[in-house]
Amino acid sequence: MKRVMIFGTFDILHCGHLHMFKQAKEYGDYLIAVVGRDKNVEEIKGIGPMHNENERLDLISQIKLIDKSCLGDKDDVYKVIEEEKPDIIALGYDQRAYVDDLADAITKAGLETQIVRLTEYQEARLKSSKIKKYIERLI
């Protein structure tokens, strides 16, 4: 069984996320979604998520395409890779945080995990930051 891992904030789920899940699942049989911790999301984006990490984890766990969902580690973002031992890590098309040291973390863990980059889905319209801005204009 091939295990595929994805990472994300998953704060406002939309069709772009579903595209990501479907595309990642094509690489294997078992999809693991790692939900970013509130602390790490704030460090990366400069602002905390709208929904807390437990709410986001609960929401992700309801998606049938995802076989397992878990929170990332607060201090060592690569720890979950060592614990879950995925065959493939599927990165979102615009995912940049923690990517530079990812290959080294995989090697350090003694794994031969392949890294793939997923394609975008209607980025001009379906990107969480754009959806948040739209919502803010409505409020």
**Domain ranges in the chain?**
3-138
Measured between alpha carbons, how far is residue 58 from residues 3, 28, 29, 71, 84 in Å? Answer: 21, 23, 22, 10, 19
Number of H helices, E strands in the chain: 6, 5
119-136 pLDDT tens trace: 987 655 555 555 555 555
> Tokens at residue 107, please?
């090697």
> What is the value of pTM for the model shown?
0.87
> For all residues of the chain together, what is the average pLDDT?
90
Low-confidence ranges of the chain (pLDDT < 70): 122-139
Contacts of 132 (CB under 8 A, 6+ apart): 12, 50
Sign of the four-CA dihedral 17, 82, 77, 94: negative
pLDDT value of position 14: 84
pLDDT value of position 64: 96
Q: What is d(CA 39, CA 20) in angstroms, rounded to the nearest whole number? A: 24
pLDDT value of position 133: 58
CATH of the domain spanning 3-138: 3.40.50.620
Give the distance, in angstroms, between the CA of residue 94 and the centroid of all CA atoms in the same chain: 11
b (16+ CB within 10 A) / e for 2-31: ebbbbbbbbbbbbebbebbbebbbebbebb
pLDDT value of position 127: 57
pLDDT value of position 97: 86
pLDDT value of position 16: 87
pLDDT value of position 53: 98
30-52 pLDDT tens trace: 999 999 999 999 998 898 999 99
